[in-house]
C-alpha cells in the first residue's frame, strides 16, 4: 500500500523541509512507500491542483510554518479538508516559532515599523498592497484553526525524527483489517483450558487474528498485538470484562500496570515516540494531563462503573468499555507514571547543586565543556523544555533555546523557566537578574509566545 502525502508550507523559513531532505540516501527507504501528491516547494503543483483533489484524498498532510497571512489561513483550512491526518511539524507550526514574537505588538505597530520607521529605509512607498496577501492580526497556531492529529516539535525536527514519524504513520495507515476474526477462534486453549478461567487477563476476545495465526498454549496471554476485531468472541469477552472488574477494584500491582500499558500501546497502535505528541493518544493525555478524557458511567451486573468515553467510532461497544475502564483505572492509580523528560534529563553535562551566583551572556567567557551551562551562569532553557532533541545544543556548548516546547504538565514555559531561575538564584537580586536578562520575552518565549498564556498583545479600546 502506497500512502499519499502532501506537504504544505505556511509562513516559515523552509527549514523543516530542508531537514527532511537532509536524510539524503535514507530518503530511498521511504520514497517507495509514499506518493507525494502536493509539495509546491519541490514539485510543480499549484494551489488550484490541491483544490481540485477530492476531500480526504491525501492520507497524511504535513504543515510547516505559522499562520501569519490571509493566504496561510486559507491554505491550512484547505490542506485539512483534503487530508485524513494532519501533522504539524516544526516549532512554527506547533508553537508559533520565532516569528510568533511579533505577537508582542499589534498589526499596525508592526507594519509601521517595517515599512515606515525602520532606520534602514531610505525611500518608502508605505505598506505594499499589490500581489501580497493581507497580514492577519496576530500569529496563530495551526491547532487553533484546524484539528491536528500529531505534533512534531523542533527548529527544525531532526531528519531521523521526521523519518521515524513518517514510517510510523505508514505502518499505521497500512494496518490491515481482517473482519470476522478474533484470536479466540484460533486459540488452542479455548474452552475449559481458557486462561481467563485461571484468573489471567487475556485480550484475545477483542483482538483480531491475522491469516494463518495459530495461538498455541505456550504463547500465554494475548496483549492485543493485532489490533481490534469487529466481532468480539463470545462468551470469552464477558469473562474478560468480569475478570477485569475484579482486578481494577484493588490497588494495581506493578506487573498489572505494565501489562495494561503494553496492551493499550499495542492494541491502539500508539507511536511510543517520545517527541511525537498526538491528542488521540490516550496514554499521553492521561500521563501529561494536557487534555482530559471525557468519562461516562456504565452498569454491569447492577453495579455502576465510571470509565473513560473514548472516541473510537468503529470499535464494538464492549471493546470501548474495556479500554475505557483500563485507562480510567490507570489514571487513578498513583503507581502509573509515564516519565516525560526535560532536556536536562538527557544532557550529558555534570550538575552539582543547581546554584546560580552569576548570569552571563552567551558571548561572555568560554563555557566549561563538562559542567551544566546553567550552573555556569548561562541561561539554558533545558529545565523547562521537553526532551526529544538529544540535548544537541548543550552538547555543542550552546544553551538550550526551548524549541521543543514546554515539559509535560507545564502550562507556560516562560513562567516555568522564570520560576526555575528564581529558585536557584537566591544570592542574586531580581533587578540584577533582569539587567543581565536583556530580552526576557525573547529568551523565555523565543519559540512559543503564541502558545503561551500571553498569546498576543491585546489593544485596549
Cell numbers at 377, concatenated: 551562569
* pLDDT(405) > 80: yes
What band does 272 get if pLDDT is binned at 50, 70 and 90? confident
Name the domain boundary from 310, 332, 354.
332
The predicted pLDDT at position 43 comes to 86
pLDDT of residue 286 exceeding 90, the answer is no
Which tops the pLDDT comparison, 274 or 180? 180
Confidence at residue 291, expressed as pLDDT on a 0 to 100 scale: 72
* Alpha carbon distances (Å) from 267 to 97, 222, 262: 35, 10, 8
pLDDT tens-digit readout, 218-265? 889 999 999 999 999 999 999 999 999 988 877 888 899 999 999 999
Which of these three, 142, 174, 206, is where a domain ends? 174
Q: What is the pTM of this model?
A: 0.88
What is the rounded CA–CA span in Å between residue 143 and residue 140? Answer: 8
Look at residue 73 in the predicted model and tell me its pLDDT. Answer: 96
Q: Are residues 145 and 217 in the same domain?
A: no
Report the pLDDT averaged over residues 268-290: 85
Please check whether residue 102 lies inside any domain of the structure: yes
Averaged pLDDT, 93-101: 95
Instruction: Identify whether residues 188 and 307 lie together within a single domain.
Output: yes
The angle subtended at Cα 140 by Cα 135 and Cα 143, nearest 5°, is 140
The mean per-residue pLDDT over the stretch 423-441 comes to 81
240, 353: one domain: no
Residue 459, pLDDT score: 73
Q: How far apart are CA 456 and CA 106, in angstroms?
A: 8
Average of per-residue pLDDT values in the chain: 91
- Ordered alpha helix ranges (H), 3-99: 15-21, 27-30, 47-52, 70-82, 91-95
Least confident of 99-113, 288-302, 400-414: 288-302
* Residue partners of 74: CB distance under 8 A and separation at least 6: none
Section 7-28 average pLDDT: 92
Examine the domain organization and report whether 8 and 147 are in the same domain.
Answer: yes
Residue 461 has pLDDT above 70, yes or no: no
Within a domain: 461: no
Strand positions, DSSP E, 153-199: none
Using CA atoms, how far apart are residues 151 and 165, in angstroms rounded to an integer?
A: 10
**pLDDT at residue number 79:** 97
pLDDT of residue 287: 82
- Averaged pLDDT, 409-432: 83
Q: Would you tell me the crossing angle of helices 254-267 and 317-332 to the nearest 10 degrees?
A: 140
φ/ψ of residue 445, rounded to 5: -120, 30
**Residue 424 Cα to chain centre, angstroms:** 30
Question: With the CA atoms of 154, 158, 162 and 168 taken in that order, what torsion angle do they form, in degrees rounded to the nearest 10?
Answer: -100
Task: Kindly indicate the confidence band of residue 122, based on its pLDDT and cuts at 50, 70 and 90.
Answer: confident
Question: Is residue 92 located within the same domain as residue 17?
Answer: yes
Residue 269, pLDDT > 80, answer yes
Which residue has cell 469487529? 230
pLDDT (average), residues 164-190: 92
Q: 188 and 314 share a domain? A: yes
Q: What 8-state DSSP symbol labels residue 101?
A: G
User: CA–CA separation, 29 vs 247, rounded Å?
Assistant: 44
* The pLDDT of residue 429 is above 90: no
Q: How much of the chain, in percent, has pLDDT values that exceed 90?
A: 65
Give the least confident one: 88-92, 322-326, 371-375: 371-375
Domain hosting residue 206, numbered range: 183-268+275-332
State the cell numbers at 258.
505494565
Instruction: Give the model's confidence band at 433: pLDDT under 50 very low, under 70 low, under 90 confident, else very high.
Output: confident
Cα 128 → chain centroid: 37
pLDDT of residue 41: 82
Summarize the confidence of residues 442-455 as an average pLDDT.
93
DSSP string, 237-296: HHHHHHHHHHHHTSPPPHHHHHHHHHHHHHHTT----TT-B-TT-HHHHHHH-SSPPPEE
Element (H, E) at 151: strand 150-152
Cis check: omega of the bond before 156, within 30 degrees of 0: yes
pLDDT at residue 22, rounded to an integer: 94
Q: Which of these three, 301, 332, 363, is where a domain ends?
A: 332
pLDDT greater than 90 at residue 123: no
Q: What is the pLDDT of residue 128?
A: 86
What average pLDDT does range 395-411 have in this prediction? 91
Asked whether residue 354 carries a pLDDT value surpassing 80, the answer given is no
Residue 305 sits in the same domain as residue 193 = yes
Q: Is residue 439 part of a domain?
A: yes
**Per-residue pLDDT tens for 290-318?**
677 899 999 988 889 999 999 998 999 99
Distance CA 94, CA 403 (A): 10
Helix (H, G, I), strand (E, B) or coil at 301: coil
Confidence label for 116 from pLDDT (cuts 50, 70 and 90): confident
Does some domain include residue 387? yes
Instruction: Tell how many helices (H) and how many strands (E) occur in the chain.
Output: 16, 9
CA distances from 63 to 31, 41, 48, 150, 354 (A): 19, 12, 18, 11, 38
- Domain count for the chain, please give it: 3
Report the distance separating Cα 267 and Cα 328, nearest Å. 16
pLDDT category of residue 438 using cuts at 50, 70 and 90: confident
Amino acid at each position: 500500500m502506497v500512502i499519499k502525502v502532501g506537504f504544505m508550507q505556511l509562513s516559515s523559513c523552509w527549514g523543516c523541509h530542508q531537514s527532511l531532505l537532509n536524510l539524503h540516501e535514507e530518503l530511498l527507504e521511504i520514497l517507495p512507500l509514499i506518493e507525494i501528491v502536493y509539495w509546491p516547494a519541490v514539485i510543480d503543483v499549484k494551489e488550484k491542483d490541491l483544490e481540485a483533489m477530492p476531500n480526504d484524498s491525501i492520507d497524511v498532510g504535513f504543515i510547516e510554518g505559522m499562520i501569519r497571512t490571509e493566504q496561510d489561513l486559507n491554505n491550512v483550512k484547505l490542506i485539512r479538508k483534503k487530508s485524513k491526518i494532519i501533522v504539524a511539524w516544526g516549532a512554527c507550526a506547533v508553537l508559533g516559532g520565532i516569528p510568533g514574537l511579533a505577537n508582542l505588538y499589534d498589526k499596525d505597530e508592526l507594519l509601521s515599523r517595517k515599512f515606515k520607521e525602520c532606520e534602514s529605509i531610505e525611500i518608502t512607498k508605505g505598506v505594499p498592497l499589490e500581489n501580497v496577501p493581507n497580514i492577519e492580526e496576530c500569529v496563530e497556531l495551526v491547532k487553533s484553526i484546524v484539528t491536528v492529529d500529531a505534533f512534531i516539535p523542533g527548529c527544525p525536527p531532526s531528519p531521523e525524527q521526521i523519518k521515524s514519524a513518517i514510517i510510523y504513520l505508514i505502518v499505521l495507515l497500512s494496518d490491515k483489517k481482517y473482519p470476522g476474526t478474533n484470536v479466540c477462534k484460533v486459540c488452542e486453549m479455548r474452552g475449559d483450558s481458557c486462561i481467563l478461567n485461571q484468573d489471567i487477563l487475556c485480550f484475545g476476545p477483542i483482538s483480531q487474528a491475522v491469516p494463518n495465526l495459530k495461538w498455541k498454549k505456550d504463547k500465554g496471554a494475548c496483549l492485543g498485538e493485532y489490533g481490534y476485531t469487529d466481532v468480539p468472541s463470545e462468551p470469552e469477552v464477558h469473562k474478560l470484562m468480569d475478570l477485569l472488574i475484579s482486578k481494577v477494584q484493588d490497588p494495581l500491582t506493578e506487573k498489572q500496570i505494565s501489562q495494561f500499558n503494553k496492551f493499550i500501546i499495542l492494541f491502539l497502535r500508539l507511536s511510543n515516540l517520545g517527541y511525537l505528541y498526538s491528542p488521540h493518544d490516550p496514554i499521553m493525555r492521561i500521563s501529561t494531563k494536557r487534555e482530559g478524557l471525557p468519562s461516562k458511567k456504565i452498569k454491569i451486573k447492577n453495579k455502576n462503573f465510571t470509565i473513560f468515553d473514548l472516541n473510537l467510532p468503529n470499535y464494538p461497544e464492549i471493546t470501548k468499555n474495556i479500554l475505557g475502564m483500563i485507562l480510567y483505572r490507570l489514571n487513578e492509580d498513583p503507581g502509573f507514571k509515564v516519565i516525560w523528560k526535560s532536556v536536562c534529563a538527557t544532557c550529558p553535562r555534570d550538575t552539582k547543586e543547581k546554584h546560580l551566583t552569576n548570569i552571563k551572556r552567551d558571548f561572555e567567557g568560554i563555557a566549561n565543556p563538562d559542567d551544566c551551562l546553567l550552573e555556569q551562569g548561562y541561561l539554558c532553557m533545558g529545565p523547562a523544555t521537553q526532551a526529544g532533541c538529544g540535548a544537541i545544543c548543550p552538547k555543542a556548548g550552546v544553551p538550550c533555546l526551548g524549541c521543543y516546547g514546554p515539559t509535560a504538565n507545564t502550562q507556560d514555559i516562560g513562567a516555568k523557566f522564570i520560576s526555575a531561575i528564581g529558585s536557584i538564584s537566591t544570592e542574586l537580586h531580581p533587578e540584577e537578574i533582569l539587567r543581565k536578562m536583556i530580552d526576557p520575552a525573547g529568551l523565555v518565549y523565543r519559540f512559543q509566545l503564541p502558545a503561551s498564556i500571553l498569546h498576543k498583545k491585546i489593544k485596549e479600546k
